[in-house]
Chain A
Amino acid sequence: MLFRQIVSYALLIGVLSGILITAVQHWRVIPIIQSAERFEQTTGTAHAHDHHAHEPEATVWKPAPGVERTGYTLLSNVLIAAGLALVLLPVLVARWAQRTPSSGICWRGLLWGFAGYVVFYVAPAIGLPPEIPGASAAPLEARQLWWLLSVLCSAAGLAWMAFGTNRWRWAGAGVLLAPHLIGAPKPPAAAFPEQTPEVAAQLAQLAGEFITATALANAALWVALGLGSVWAARRILSARY
């Protein structure tokens, strides 16, 4: 059954890509998050970024540092990767239902992966750069709404440009850019308002490194997701003949 095949392959791709991105995160991303958290703790602003601060600390569960925290991060990564594969796979299967490409798995995988990278990482991150813990930011709801708008518009704009059949397809560029013309919600204050200028400068440097680190981790994720999904879509379709 098509549904069961897609779900099984998405889970497989999710587990493999989730393990891959967790490894890359462990290498480049997590050390930066931990440094930023140390700054928060040593300067006594541990709650600065915590909007649940009004709730007593003890009642709010959080994973213990070390294996448990890494385990939940791995689980979250597997979930997000499987979710993304579950969206990508049906698109590929529907697109190739009439005629399944027999070659070019590699470049097709990289191309679809690149599209996913642009839609789910690059486009939202241009407006809302990946943040280290402790950085000030606009209200959460506004950022979530803009994030969603940017993902939807990027996907629609790219798809229109790639698959449109008349010259109107180039209007897709406008759709792609619209959220950026509207503008992402801006933080109300300086990036690290509660820190001394020296510490704020150090944190700003960390924030810069964090952008590179997350760009790398997400690129690894999307290479795996793109290649895996194209491979799986071809397997699902070729098994039907």
Chain B
Amino acid sequence: MQNTLSNETVFSDKALTGSVAAPIQLLLAGLIGVVILYGAVFIETPAVHNAAHDMRHSQAFPCH
């Protein structure tokens, strides 16, 4: 397939449609993922805890 033949990288200028460098965009996306995971795993506010309770038990996250 044509995408494997090219050595162009997503980090090249061609890959950018915005003005932010690709590595920064990747890092930002990953960071948002980490923030979501942090909230889902660790937030102990009672309402959040109760809403996420069954998911946390099922995921073997520390709960209670």
Contact = CB atoms under 8 A, between A and B. Distances in A.
A97 B11 contact: yes
A2 interface: yes
7 contacts: A3-B26, A7-B32, A73-B53, A90-B29, A91-B30, A97-B10, A121-B60
Interface string B1-42: 111101111110011111010110111111011101101111
Contacts of B50: 60-63
The interface residues of chain A, by DSSP majority, are classed as helix
Interface in A198-241: 214, 217-218, 234, 237-238, 240-241
A30 B56 CA distance: 12
A142 B27 CA distance: 29
A41 interface: no
B15 A2 contact: yes
For the complex of A and B, the 3 pairs showing the least CB-CB separation, nearest first, are A86-B33, A83-B36, A76-B55
Interface of B: 1-4, 6-11, 14-18, 20, 22-23, 25-30, 32-34, 36-37, 39-42, 44, 46-47, 49-64
B55 A77 contact: yes
Contacts of B32: 7, 86
A29 B58 contact: yes
Given A1-B25, A3-B28, A76-B52, A131 B63 contact: yes
Contacts of A76: 40, 51-52, 54-56
Instruction: Report the interface size class on chain A.
Output: 35 or more
Given A2-B22, A10-B29, A76-B40, A147 B54 contact: no
A120 B58 CA distance: 12
A143 B60 CA distance: 11
B36 to A, nearest CB: 3
A25 B54 contact: yes
A83 B8 contact: no
Interface in A73-108: 73, 75-77, 79-80, 82-87, 89-91, 93-94, 97-102
